[in-house]
Amino acid sequence: MAKRTRHTMTKVRWTMWALGALVVALTFAASSAVTVQMTVAMGVGLGVLVLAASEWIIARTRNHPQVRMAEWRAGIDR
């Protein structure tokens, strides 16, 4: 079976996850202020909600005719 290449946006999402996790870990390690930690936690929570909504939209529209036609034109085979 041929290796499936990752889409560019998949790489971007994983990179953003990794950078975000690094920033959160460094912030919690460097700061003992509860206000800073709560702000970071709220940012993480909001980020997770946005990511969940975007993944839901992507999964929901994946099989729309417009998406299939655009993928066909771009040469993307699923």
Q: Model confidence over 7-47: pLDDT tens digits?
A: 677 788 888 888 888 888 888 889 889 998 888 889 888 98
Give pLDDT, residue 78.
60
Q: How far apart are CA 49 and CA 65, in angstroms?
A: 27
59 has a pLDDT exceeding 70: yes
Give pLDDT, residue 4.
62
SS3 66: helix
**CB count in 10 Å sphere of residue 58:** 12
Give pLDDT, residue 3.
64
Q: How far apart are CA 11 and CA 37, in angstroms?
A: 28
61 has a pLDDT exceeding 80: no
Give pLDDT, residue 9.
72
Q: Where along the chain do its domains lie?
A: 8-74
